[in-house]
Structure 1
Amino acid sequence: METRSENSKPWSISKRFFTLLSIYFAFLMVDFTSSDELFPHFVYVFPFPDLIRLTEPYGESTPMGLAWTFVGYSSGYNLFTGGAEVLAGILLFYKRTTLFGSLVAMTVMANVVAMNFAYDIPVKIFSLNLLIMAAWIAWYDKDRLINFFFLNNVADPSVITYPYHTKWKKIVQLSLKSIAILFALYSTLYSDLNMAKEYGDAAPKAPLYGIYDVKTFNLKGELLAPLTTDSTRWKRMIIGYPGYARITKMTDSNVWMKLKVDTNAKTLKFTSTKDSTNQYILAYKKLGKDQLIVKGLVGKDAISIQFKQFDHTQLNLVKTGFHWINEYPNNR
């Protein structure tokens, strides 16, 4: 229980530094949920693996890409990890819960640091610094922690002191703290909601969004056979990101093109990402739900391509949902 004599003790430099560090770290933990390269994003969850990721072999992905796919698959996991970071930040704002908040932060950041180092993800040093800061804050109560966890002794309650003792000063301090916490939460939620609308699963899909496999490819009136050595014939076109398309040739080489879809004129304008002067406009026509025909001139050569849209919702990663009980391990 606090006494007047305890509250009357002047704050030492170390005590002031500890308090400032705790508050600074609390802001970082809340803001970290909208700036980390892996975990975080309390509202804006990492988007579900895109069409490019769903169709490329495991071996073609980088370690970070593999981790990004793992995290992005589950919105629940995103909310859990991001929510834990926000919880740690809120707990660190209050003296009575600072120790608990630092322990939660250590747990969360240990996982983040392990992922960043194990999967070659950026911000390794920054996340490691946050882990060290959380450990340092917890170390302030090292004697109580050692007694509780290792020596089976009674952990004495910590002495909580406050810099202000008059009523109006306490009210001002509490008001400023509340405003700071609300601002931190608001800025994080606002940023994440905007990111979700622009980059998340709720973001607008590109016109003609989908995976299109080439069925027939006519160049200058000649039907090209699907030979794996042909570097001219297209094999697949993926329209995933708004404004872009990825074209895969029969040799499995990929070419990124800027794409402008005019749904009124029914045209596709392709522009090379490397040479803006290399562009061509093709007319398109949809037949049924999964047929697409594209015709026009590429330079001086007439081209006609018939596509069949691949139903990516039938991929195991997309269609396999949650099961309370699994009769057999679905490990494929």
Structure 2
Amino acid sequence: MTPTKTNAPWPIWRLIAFRFFFIYLTLQIAPLAWLGEIPGVGKLLSFYYSFVDWAVTTSNKLFFHVREVLVQPNGSGDTSWAWAQLWAMLCVAFIGCLLWSVFDRKRASYTHLNYWLCLAARYYLAFFAFSYGILKIFALQMPFPNLHQLATPLGDLLPMRLSWMFIGYSKTYQVFSGIMETLVGLLLINRRTATLGIFMAAGVFANVMMLNLSYDIPVKLFAMELTFVSLFLLANEASRLYYFFVLNKPAPVADTYHFKYTQKWIRIGRIVVKCAFIILAVFMQIINNWQYYQETNAAPAKQHLKNGVYEVATYSVNKKDIPLSVPDTLRWHDLILENGAGSIKTADTAFRQRYKRGYFAYATDETKHVFKIKKLADDSLWMATFRYEQPDSTTIKLWGKLRNDSLYVVLKRTNRHFQLAERQFHWLSERNR
């Protein structure tokens, strides 16, 4: 094997690049934020988060102007606040790199500091590989399409929802993806298999990044960050990879992830921290996802109205019938009930609008024959209460008030069948489907 020159002087371009990436990756990985997992530390970190928010907001007002009012990350990771934070981190890294290069210009290399940066980057990638991987192993990240989604015309779906349903349709594919991501995490936390883990991480996270970019999934920034960290770690082994893959020669021994701990307390501390990481990133993830899996697959609360797709045969507002042929955006066209979640084909904004359907949560009371609905399942107040009766097994009659209008609705249950729900698979296919 060709020996590596651990303490050899670095070229000037590498010194400058390291200073920039060290600052940027430290800000991205945010080691202080990880302390929030320790009980009782979260409250102390509120000062850190407040400072970060102030820095991002202030720098945006002075320099970046992403948006006048920044929206904090929510279900989307690509909010205006997230973009302003990215620009702020890049600027801090650039300015810090310049100052560092001036005051530390005689430094020959950063071998030991690079070891610690690569160690943090490895465990950063491993944590999220475990987080997303274990979630997929339980097939919880992308659920199988529900009745509401199956009844939505393909052309009305946004690209992200289409991709989510594509992965959620196949439990096998989702579990396979989860196993690959979890394997990446396992390889990354072992120094001897770290190079293979980084190779796999670059492929896995690049695929996720391309999915997010191609289907407008609002986690683009984070996916790009994970891919970038993977490429940074690969760049640290560029010479080894060049020897092996291009020159077809024996590669130098890897030393990026190896460091001799001379003090006993450091060796013990390393083992303790690694065990704590495995407990947090692996075992706690398994326990939490197992509980989530049980909750998700638990028998739903008993509803006295059958799940299914219902046609709206009669729709009357204030005792005035509105036929289906009349162009009325508030009229109900069909209604779907499924385990406490309902949706209506209507443009009425009293409901939560998604993909040209109005969504709501509902509950029934069999003794009082009451059907209650609210916009979101977490809402404390019901938006409307209807009386109902079931003349036969396929008919539901509702009457009550929505806003200030009196509604009378007759629903007819259909036998609508969705081929996609069959989960078809054929080893032998005589023709294309």
- Quickly name the TM-score band, shorter chain normalised: 0.7 to 0.9
Distance 1:101 1:286 in 2: 62
Residue type of the partner of 1:204?
P
- Structure 1 stretches lacking a partner, 5+ long: 35-39
Match of 2:200 in 1: 104
Alpha-carbon contact 1:266-1:284 (below 8 Å) kept = yes
Partner secondary structure for residue 155 of structure 1: coil
**Percent same amino acid among aligned pairs?**
26
Q: Normalised by the size of structure 2, how large is the TM-score?
A: 0.62
Partner secondary structure for residue 137 of structure 2: coil
Match of 1:42 in 2: 137
Of 25, 39, 45, which residue of structure 1 is paired with 2:125? 25
- Structure 2 stretches lacking a partner, 5+ long: 7-110, 349-354
Report matched runs for 1:234-249 at 5 Å. Answer: 234-240=332-338, 242=340, 244-249=341-346
More helix by share: 2
Match status 1:211 vs 2:211:
no
Alpha-carbon contact 2:261-2:267 (below 8 Å) kept = yes
Distance 1:15 1:144 in 2: 16
Distance 1:269 1:258 in 2: 8
1:63 offset after TM fit, Å?
1.2
Partner secondary structure for residue 345 of structure 2: strand
Distance 1:117 1:232 in 2: 35
Match of 1:190 in 2: 287
1:79 offset after TM fit, Å?
1.3
Distance 2:329 2:266 in 1: 75
Match status 1:292 vs 2:395:
yes
Alpha-carbon contact 2:373-2:382 (below 8 Å) kept = no
Report matched runs for 1:4-153 at 5 Å. Answer: 12-33=112-133, 41-43=136-138, 44-153=140-249
Match of 1:37 in 2: none
Residue type of the partner of 2:241?
L
Distance 1:96 1:14 in 2: 18
Distance 1:155 1:119 in 2: 39
Q: Normalised by the size of structure 1, how large is the TM-score?
A: 0.78
RMSD of aligned Cα (Å)? 3.6
Alpha-carbon contact 1:22-1:93 (below 8 Å) kept = yes
Paired positions, count: 311
More strand by share: 1
Residue type of the partner of 1:262?
D
1:173 offset after TM fit, Å?
3.7
1:109 offset after TM fit, Å?
0.4
Distance 1:155 1:30 in 2: 30
Residue type of the partner of 1:296?
W
Alpha-carbon contact 1:30-1:89 (below 8 Å) kept = yes
**Once the two structures are superposed, what CA deviation does each residue of 1:154-174 show, in whole Å capped at 9, x if it has no partner?**
224334744336889756644
Distance 2:357 2:127 in 1: 43
Alpha-carbon contact 1:45-1:196 (below 8 Å) kept = no
1:328 offset after TM fit, Å?
1.5
1:105 offset after TM fit, Å?
0.4
Residue type of the partner of 1:15?
Y
Match status 1:265 vs 2:361:
no
Alpha-carbon contact 1:266-1:285 (below 8 Å) kept = no
Residue type of the partner of 1:119?
Y
Q: Which moved more, 1:223-232 or 1:56-65?
A: 223-232
Distance 1:250 1:179 in 2: 51
Residue type of the partner of 2:399?
G
Of 385, 394, 412, which residue of structure 2 is paired with 1:307? 412
Distance 1:79 1:258 in 2: 30
1:118 offset after TM fit, Å?
0.9
